Amino acid sequence: MKILLVDDSRAIAALLEAQLMSLGHQVVLAENGQVALEKFRDSLPELVLMDIEMPVMNGFDATHRIRSFERTQKWAWTPIIFLTASDSQENLIAAIEAGGDDFLAKGLSIDILRAKMKAMGRIARLRQMLAVANQQLEYLASKDGLTGLFNRRWMDLNVDKAWVDAIDKSRSFAVLMLDVDNFKKYNDHYGHQRGDDCLRLIARTIESVIDEVNVKNVTNDVFVCRYGGEEFSVVIPGASVATYECTARHIVEVIRKLEIEHVLNAGFEIVTVSIGAIRIESAAGSVATLFREADAALYRAKNKGRNRVEYAG
């Protein structure tokens, strides 16, 4: 384990450090609570051994601040054990209220220390497994189960961050809203299984166009989402006019060239898509306005015959 050892006594710290290292642990030293807080943020230990009485900042205050810092992170909790020469009832209550988890008496035997570290090691492994499981759940919750693209929930959470970043950097911002033409008729005629296969293929095709046009070489912030049903969105912060327009046109062209049969898509008899697109040179105002304008442009593309891009503005 990586252990943060906090004690203002050099002699006690040196003895404990040697004992912990002999048991195979990595030790980070801090001489007071203030230094401990800094080193906690930098090293992210799996366990903290915290002295109580120290200059600059005592162990109780340092623990309070560590717990406050942890609340801002995705991982939740690090065991904190107080080192004390007195296991009085008052110290025990104060330690628990500060956010501590246990006591260790200074000068304890190496056997007791070994046993305590084994228990803490089990907790650290369980904590790591929980963190991995939470990351996997978060990843799954961000993905659309049918297409594998990011879902609407993920987009809603992340588009605002991308928008704020674009405002801060005075970057351009582009939104493409894409809809599969006459898709309800496709589902009704060919069945939902064929409909699902069609949406999966369109999702892969949109991503392949992003790669082919080298959009990710222009901006790493581009993302493609399944907006809902047969509707998709592409968000491209920082793209030039040429990249933005080329991406939109190319998506329409490549999907048409797939020549997926759709006899009820009048005038084409293959699957086609329509896109409403908008780009502003410098992000300002509300990103929701861009989505509304892109959506309005999408309706114009539909009304003008489908299988096309309509640009807003």
Active site residues: 230
Which residues sit opposite 152 in a β-bridge? none
Q: Is 18 left (phi over 0), alpha (psi -120 to 50) or beta?
A: alpha
90: Cα within 13 Å, side-chain hemisphere: 2
The residue type at 208: S
Q: Are 234 and 158 in contact (CB under 8 A)?
A: no
Calpha distance 158→149 (Å, rounded): 14
- The four Cα atoms 276, 279, 280, 286 give a dihedral, to 10 degrees, of 50
What phi and psi values does residue 66 have, to the nearest 5 degrees? -65, -45
Q: Are 175 and 235 in contact (CB under 8 A)?
A: yes
The residue type at 256: R
Query: Is the sign of the CA dihedral 101, 102, 107, 113 positive or negative?
Result: negative
